[in-house]
């Protein structure tokens, strides 16, 4: 017989004893594997959600408010970096995405933050890859809209119902600009619901990682663009199904046919689609490290226009965004000689159209920069001219000797103000970025000279296409974005009708840029001369007077001397008015003529040269690998496997202890057998090896059985996460997933853990002498030293607990949960120490029945000083196996302590909610707007704009925040936030608000940016001082501590990489962490740095509202009603904080439930301990029966003895827990789950009592007197 045979026979012979070990191992394995399967399920559900919301989209360009032609989507080409000339096929789609609010027809339901998606009906629905999409999701008719399930549920809408969409209307000029229009910020559409788009059919389409279903509405892109006046425009490009041509063995004619087919497919003509897939290789994830996006840029892609001037033989570069973006001016005037050449297109995509070289015909010095701005008032002494255009430029409009404090005025303005050279003129204007605040400034200039209202000064094309002005036929039609407080006279009206925006004065470019330069740009146009190569083809036929006027471009400027003759000559040379005025001049007719071929060629060459010095990323056109980012966010999401392992640790430990206990009991039952093996010559090592292999075999069986149980355990946990624990996962739809790898790893891990537990149980057992094992009595002697140690530990822990509580109360910090939890733990240790010392007083286990009986008599009479009673025998019975009894008490006490005291860490959002250092920051409301709000709600004018009554907002103060959308970084998002949302705030507005857990305060955002650290010794301050954000390296930021640690996986001092609107990378360094606040989900930076990095983000979209506590409801209702058109949604700050706190509270509740299961399992272990103790003591019980005790008395004795252990463990744990939860108990707003805790503890008590009763009943059955024959 060998070891293998002996193990197999032992397992078969002792199967009853081993059954409990297998079940214990199975429970532990089920908890462990179930936790891992939960982790798999959550992760795979996030993967599914990411793929479902993106469909086939792999790369996307999100331009936000920066628009481009829809045709650009067909011109972009993914290029494989490894094989740039490989033919590539991909799906591409242009989309117009606008924020909106939605209202049901009766106004009873409302939804904010709605995404209105203008899509192409043919390609967009194919994104979902669902070929069996219902026909209702095909062509959305004009006047119809398709909405997703989330929006339908919010509006309670169904097909056929009408809804009202109020759309944000993008503006060419930022709404933050002073001269931007204010009256046409939104467009309302009444539409009929055509269909409801389910999530599997791209209903939840979104480019941002998140788990909450977006509110989507789908319209045809042409219909949406037409409704908001953006025909042919888009702001999103989607690329997907990127495939590389792989035709290694194919005739050239077939290769050409396939490429033609793919080329046609790129442009929307899918001919014979079934021929494509077999010869196409599609990567699973398109990584930007392997691919790049290329296209031949055009000025129209950047909202630029290069036009031929009507009279001058030159070209003018303008932007639909009014101000030329700084990268454009840099590309013209400061081209980077070291800039690498543009990445070329594949050879099959290069245009064969030649362009003429321009490098030898044009240099930056030949370009003329222009900045024209609207000033409020030109004043000289008592004379004033309202609302005039002033141009800042060089020659030919200003002489070379013009100083920055001098001005050139037109003859018309000189006559109106009655000024002459040398006089002073005050120029008043609104600061360009003052927006609705309308901050006015005034500069004084000295009149240098007076010029006639002739070319080049009488050039109405110098005025930019300011929205609200360029199409106005009269001043009464102006929509300048600000109130016209100065009176417009009849002569001003006449001037506008004749000359429109012709400037009335000219200053130097440096002076103009100092006054009117802004974050959007510091030029409104750039003009270029056209080289004619000696020809006169570009010069129109001019009258003698106009030819003389052209000769004066070099700058013959009137300096005060004038004559009647010259005045008469100038009068005949003035520029004719625009159409709609008094006629049409030569210059206007010239614009209607076709451009000469040389001009066309030169324009193309000039365009190519300028664009060669521009990168799309510098103008906000940046392609992102959205699929790669989404899958990465899901892969790095919250580890629910590890989380549930933590939740289940007490359950796992209880199962392992139960298994070890059962195995130990089995060993004690087999003690004579083991002693026989040792007596026959087996070494202790061989016996230990034999028993360990038996244990491993049992652990493996339990692991396999637990794998099945783990699957059902995981399903139960997932059901809990989608129902009672839904707050832990937000709106995520979870589905069950598991992999064979998870099961194998789980079984292997459970077997290892079980084997180690069995080894620990075996470690000392086989070292016992063979004689002791043969007798079958395994006892342990207690020493006085152990008794003394227990007392010392107990007294020390109790004194430490009292000291900790006293110190905390002396500080007045009664809300310090950590201190009271520590005190409770010390009380628990002290209680266990006293219990150990008390049991040690009766310690020892005599080896025979008579000895045990005599010992009972002596100890009972000595200790109790009374005759033998059931109570005295029960006391002695508890102390007989001190370690076993102490382990039972400790397990029950620790379990009850944990599941009760863990409630102290429940977060209460209402506690100190009105204090400024609380999680609400003292704010009453937090609001988020769908549309940007450019008005200052703290000012009277801002409140009047929304018709808000000052009386209703008495004592109300707003802290506005600029928002740069990013990944949701709060605990409500399980995905890892790659680039969290940024808020731009003025730090002084938050001074004294919120409590900081670590790092710098709010002053660090402004002080460090200015090169001054409020705390020079701080690591974050020193690090930021060495790399000032002014140098575009690092920007200080502050975030919520929970978001930083759990959602961003960062800590204070770490950095996060961002890219600004100009395509420039920068880092955000976390310098402070706010403790548990309403600021979860975002990082806060200084507003000055925000507008510098993101100039296109207009207005404010988040507001922290400070209001009197007795008027919160009234203020909320007033603001919601008045600002419903901008989609303002207000939430009480305490309620928002409670939503965040619900996640942690749910985690704690989950731990309590699973801990309660472990405690129940521990009570089962108590029953097993009782059974084993009683079986060991059958001889003793037989003696008691023989001397006159009845069986009922013996049964009551055993119930008393073991019930005391049960009650002692629970009581000790509850007493310690009461100390731990004292702050929550004393809080008037305590939210402890008393009912569920009472039910759990009662269940443990009842369960333990039932198991004790069952074990006792089983043990005293039969003829106990037979046990005496074994003595």
365: pLDDT strictly greater than 90? no
157: pLDDT strictly greater than 80? yes
Which pLDDT value is given to residue 123?
A: 64
- Enumerate residues 6+ apart whose C-beta is below 8 A from 610: 317, 328, 331, 332
Percent of the chain with pLDDT strictly greater than 90: 27
Which pLDDT value is given to residue 819?
A: 76
Q: Of the candidates 354, 971, 302, which has an alpha carbon nearest to the alpha carbon of residue 604?
A: 354
pTM confidence score: 0.79
Element (H, E) at 528: strand 525-529
Which pLDDT value is given to residue 430?
A: 92
Going through 530-632 in order, the beta strands assigned E by DSSP cover 623-624
729: pLDDT strictly greater than 70? yes
pLDDT tens figures, 775-829: 665 555 555 556 677 778 888 888 888 888 888 777 766 656 677 778 888 888 8
β-strand partners of 928: 1102, 1129
The residue-averaged pLDDT of 1070-1098 equals 92
The residue-averaged pLDDT of 674-693 equals 83
Mean pLDDT, the chain, whole residue set: 79
Distance CA 460, CA 504 (A): 10
1158: pLDDT strictly greater than 60? yes
Least confident window among 259-268, 494-503, 1055-1064, 1218-1227: 259-268
Confidence category of residue 3, pLDDT binned at 50, 70, 90: confident
689: pLDDT strictly greater than 90? no
Confidence category of residue 578, pLDDT binned at 50, 70, 90: very low
Which pLDDT value is given to residue 1123?
A: 93
β-strand partners of 281: 244
Confidence category of residue 549, pLDDT binned at 50, 70, 90: very low
Going through 1050-1106 in order, the beta strands assigned E by DSSP cover 1055-1059, 1065-1074, 1082-1086, 1100-1106
Confidence category of residue 511, pLDDT binned at 50, 70, 90: very high
Which pLDDT value is given to residue 780?
A: 52
β-strand partners of 957: 1106
Which pLDDT value is given to residue 1056?
A: 94
The token duo for 947 is: 């018709």
Q: Of the candidates 1122, 597, 706, 1152, which has an alpha carbon nearest to the alpha carbon of residue 906?
A: 1152
β-strand partners of 967: 980
Q: Are 245 and 251 in contact (CB under 8 A)?
A: no
637: pLDDT strictly greater than 90? no
Which pLDDT value is given to residue 254?
A: 55
Which pLDDT value is given to residue 675?
A: 81
Which pLDDT value is given to residue 854?
A: 52
The token duo for 282 is: 């599609």
Confidence category of residue 406, pLDDT binned at 50, 70, 90: very high
The residue-averaged pLDDT of 940-959 equals 90
β-strand partners of 1059: 1065
Confidence category of residue 538, pLDDT binned at 50, 70, 90: very low
The residue-averaged pLDDT of 49-66 equals 88
Confidence category of residue 1103, pLDDT binned at 50, 70, 90: very high
β-strand partners of 654: none
Which pLDDT value is given to residue 286?
A: 67
Confidence category of residue 1188, pLDDT binned at 50, 70, 90: confident
Q: Work out the angle at residue 742's Cα, subtended by the Cα atoms of residues 737 and 743, and round it to the nearest 5 degrees.
A: 100
In terms of average pLDDT, the best of 252-261, 334-343, 739-748, 924-933 is 924-933
How far does CA 123 lie from the centroid of its chain?
30
pLDDT tens figures, 270-304: 444 433 333 333 345 667 777 888 888 899 999 99
Distance CA 1241, CA 1229 (A): 24
Return the higher-pLDDT residue of 853 and 775: 775
SS3 210: coil
SS3 1015: coil
Which pLDDT value is given to residue 798?
A: 84
900: pLDDT strictly greater than 80? no
508: pLDDT strictly greater than 80? yes
- Enumerate residues 6+ apart whose C-beta is below 8 A from 521: 319, 321, 323, 324, 325, 326, 328, 329
The residue-averaged pLDDT of 650-665 equals 80
Which pLDDT value is given to residue 893?
A: 81
Which pLDDT value is given to residue 552?
A: 38
562: pLDDT strictly greater than 50? no
The token duo for 884 is: 């076993």
Q: Of the candidates 1122, 1049, 1117, 1063, which has an alpha carbon nearest to the alpha carbon of residue 1095?
A: 1063
**Measuring CA to CA, how many Å separate 128 from each of 131, 203, 205, 640, 997?**
8, 9, 9, 28, 44
How far does CA 144 lie from the centroid of its chain?
33
Element (H, E) at 996: strand 996-999
Q: Are 341 and 608 in contact (CB under 8 A)?
A: no
Distance CA 1087, CA 1084 (A): 9
SS3 558: strand
Least confident window among 37-41, 263-267, 545-549, 1238-1242: 545-549
CB atoms under 10 Å from CB of 640, counted, come to 27
The token duo for 591 is: 């614009």
pLDDT tens figures, 854-885: 554 454 444 444 456 666 677 676 766 677 77
Distance CA 552, CA 456 (A): 9
**Sign of the dihedral defined by the CA atoms of residues 991, 994, 995, 996, in that order:** negative
Q: Are 425 and 385 in contact (CB under 8 A)?
A: no
The residue-averaged pLDDT of 1217-1226 equals 73
Which pLDDT value is given to residue 687?
A: 83
Q: Of the candidates 313, 320, 159, which has an alpha carbon nearest to the alpha carbon of residue 232?
A: 320
The radius of gyration computed from the CA coordinates of the chain, to the nearest angstrom, equals 42
**Sign of the dihedral defined by the CA atoms of residues 666, 668, 670, 674, in that order:** positive
């Amino acid at each position: 017989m060998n070891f293998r045979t002996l193990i197999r026979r032992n397992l078969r012979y002792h199967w009853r004893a081993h059954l409990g070990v297998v079940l214990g191992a199975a429970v532990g394995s089920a908890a462990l594997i179930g936790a891992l399967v939960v982790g798999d399920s959550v992760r795979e559900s996030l993967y599914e959600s990411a793929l479902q919301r993106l469909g086939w989209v792999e790369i996307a360009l999100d331009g936000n408010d920066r628009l481009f032609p829809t045709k650009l989507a067909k011109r972009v080409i993914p290029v494989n970096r490894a094989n740039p000339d490989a033919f590539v096929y991909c799906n591409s789609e242009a989309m117009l995405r606008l924020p909106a609010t939605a209202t049901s027809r009766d106004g009873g339901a409302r939804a904010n933050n709605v995404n209105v998606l203008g899509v192409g009906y043919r390609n967009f629905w194919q994104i979902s890859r669902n070929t069996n999409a219902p026909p209702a999701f095909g062509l959305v008719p004009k006047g119809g809209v398709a909405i997703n399930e989330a929006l339908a549920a919010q509006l309670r809408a169904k097909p056929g119902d009408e809804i009202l969409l109020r759309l944000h209307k993008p503006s060419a000029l930022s709404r933050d600009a002073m001269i931007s229009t204010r009256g046409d910020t939104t467009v309302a559409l009444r539409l009929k619901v055509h269909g409801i788009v389910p999530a599997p059919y791209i209903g939840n389409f979104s480019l941002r990682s998140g788990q909450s279903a977006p509110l989507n509405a789908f319209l045809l892109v042409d219909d949406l663009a037409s409704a908001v006046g953006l025909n042919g425009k888009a702001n999103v490009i989607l690329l997907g199904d990127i495939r590389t041509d792989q035709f290694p063995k194919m005739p050239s004619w077939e290769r050409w046919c396939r490429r033609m087919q793919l080329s046609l497919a790129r442009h929307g003509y899918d001919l014979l689609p079934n021929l494509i897939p077999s010869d196409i290789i599609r990567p699973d994830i398109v990584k930007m490290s392997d691919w790049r996006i290329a296209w031949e840029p055009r000025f129209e892609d950047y909202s630029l226009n290069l036009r031929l001037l009507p009279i001058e033989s030159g070209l003018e570069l303008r932007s639909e965004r009014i101000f030329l973006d700084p990268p454009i001016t840099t590309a013209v005037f400061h081209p980077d000689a070291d800039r690498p050449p543009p990445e070329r297109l594949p050879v099959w995509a290069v245009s064969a159209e030649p362009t003429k070289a321009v490098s030898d015909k044009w240099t930056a010095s030949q370009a003329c920069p222009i900045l024209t701005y609207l000033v409020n008032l030109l004043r000289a002494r008592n004379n004033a001219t309202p609302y005039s255009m002033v141009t800042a430029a060089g020659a030919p409009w200003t002489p070379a000797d013009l100083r920055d404090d001098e001005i050139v005025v037109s003859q018309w303005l000189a006559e109106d103000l009655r000024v002459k050279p040398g006089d002073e003129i005050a120029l008043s204007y609104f600061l360009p970025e003052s927006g609705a605040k309308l901050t006015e400034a005034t500069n004084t200039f000295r009149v240098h000279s007076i010029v006639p209202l002739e070319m080049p000064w009488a050039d109405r094309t110098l005025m930019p296409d300011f929205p609200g002005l360029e199409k106005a036929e009269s001043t009464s039609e102006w929509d300048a974005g600000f109130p016209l407080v100065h009176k417009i006279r009849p002569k001003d009206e006449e001037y506008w009708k004749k000359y429109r925006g012709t400037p009335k004065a000219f200053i130097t470019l440096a002076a103009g840029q100092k006054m009117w330069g802004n974050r959007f740009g510091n030029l409104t146009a750039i003009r270029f001369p056209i080289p004619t190569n000696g020809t006169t083809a570009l010069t129109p036929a001019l009258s003698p007077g106009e030819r003389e006027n052209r000769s004066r471009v070099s700058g013959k400027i009137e300096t005060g001397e004038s004559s009647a003759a010259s005045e008469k000559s100038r009068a005949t040379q003035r520029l004719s008015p625009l159409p709609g005025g008094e006629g049409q001049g030569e210059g206007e007719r010239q614009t209607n003529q076709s451009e000469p071929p040389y001009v066309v060629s030169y324009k193309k060459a000039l365009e190519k040269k300028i664009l060669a010095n521009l990168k799309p990323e510098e103008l906000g056109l940046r392609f992102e690998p959205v699929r790669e980012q989404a899958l990465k966010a899901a892969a790095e999401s919250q580890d629910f496997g590890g989380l549930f392992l933590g939740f289940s640790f007490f359950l796992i430990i209880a199962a392992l202890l139960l298994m070890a206990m059962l195995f130990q009991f089995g060993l004690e039952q087999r003690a004579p057998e083991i002693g026989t093996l040792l007596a026959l010559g087996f070494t202790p090592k061989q016996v230990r090896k034999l028993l360990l292999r038996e244990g491993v075999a049992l652990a493996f069986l339990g692991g396999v059985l637990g794998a099945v149980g783990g699957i059902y355990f995981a399903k139960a946990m997932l059901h809990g996460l989608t129902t009672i624990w839904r707050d832990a996962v937000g709106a995520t739809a979870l589905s069950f997933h598991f992999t064979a790898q998870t099961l194998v790893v789980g079984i292997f891990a459970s077997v290892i853990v079980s084997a180690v537990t069995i080894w620990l149980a075996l470690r000392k057992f086989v070292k016992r002498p063979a004689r002791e094992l043969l007798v079958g009595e395994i006892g342990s002697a207690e020493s006085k030293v152990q008794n003394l140690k227990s007392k010392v530990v107990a007294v020390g822990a109790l004194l430490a607990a009292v000291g900790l509580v006293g110190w905390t109360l002396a500080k007045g910090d009664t809300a310090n949960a950590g201190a009271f939890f520590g005190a409770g733990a010390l009380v628990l240790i002290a209680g266990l120490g006293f219990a150990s010392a008390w049991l040690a007083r009766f310690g020892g286990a005599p080896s025979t029945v008579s000895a045990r009986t005599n010992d009972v008599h002596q100890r009972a009479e000595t200790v109790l000083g009374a005759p033998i009673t059931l109570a005295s025998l029960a006391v002695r019975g508890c102390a007989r196996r001190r370690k076993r009894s102490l382990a039972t008490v400790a397990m029950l006490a620790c379990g009850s302590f944990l599941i009760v005291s863990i409630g102290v860490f429940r977060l209460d959002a209402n506690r100190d909610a009105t204090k400024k250092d609380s999680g609400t920051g003292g704010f009453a409301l937090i609001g988020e707007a769908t549309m940007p709000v450019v008005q200052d709600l703290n000012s009277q004018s801002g409140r009047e704009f929304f018709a808000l009554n000052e009386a209703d907002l008495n004592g109300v103060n707003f802290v506005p925040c600029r928002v740069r959308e990013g990944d949701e970084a709060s605990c409500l998002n399980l995905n890892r936030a790659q680039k969290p949302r940024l808020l731009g705030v003025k730090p002084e507005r938050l001074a004294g608000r919120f409590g900081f857990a670590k790092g710098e305060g709010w002053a660090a955002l402004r002080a460090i940016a200015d090169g001054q650290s409020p705390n020079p010794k701080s690591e974050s301050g020193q690090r930021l001082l060495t790399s000032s954000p002014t140098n575009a390296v690092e920007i200080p930021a502050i975030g919520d501590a929970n978001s930083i640690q759990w959602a961003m996986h960062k800590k204070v001092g770490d950095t996060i990489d961002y890219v600004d609107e100009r395509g420039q990378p920068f880092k955000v360094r976390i310098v402070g962490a706010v403790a548990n606040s309403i600021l979860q989900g975002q990082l806060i930076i200084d507003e000055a740095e925000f507008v510098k990095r993101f100039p296109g983000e207009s207005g404010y979209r988040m507001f922290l509202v400070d209001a009197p506590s007795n008027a919160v409801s009234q203020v909320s209702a007033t603001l919601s009603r008045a600002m419903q058109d901008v989609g303002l949604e207000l939430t009480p700050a305490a309620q928002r904080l409670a939503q965040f706190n619900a996640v942690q509270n749910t985690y704690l509740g989950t731990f309590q439930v699973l801990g309660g299961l472990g405690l129940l399992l521990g009570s089962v272990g108590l029953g097993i301990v009782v059974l084993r103790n009683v079986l060991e003591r059958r001889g003793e019980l037989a003696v008691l029966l023989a001397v006159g005790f009845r069986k009922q008395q013996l049964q009551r004795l055993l119930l008393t003895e073991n019930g005391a252990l049960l009650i002692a463990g629970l009581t000790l744990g509850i007493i310690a827990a009461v100390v731990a939860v004292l702050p929550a108990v004393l809080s008037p707003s305590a939210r402890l789950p008393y009912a569920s805790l009472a039910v759990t503890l009662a269940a443990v008590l009842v369960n333990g009592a039932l198991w004790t009763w069952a074990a006792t009943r089983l043990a005293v059955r039969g003829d106990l007197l037979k046990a005496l024959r074994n003595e």
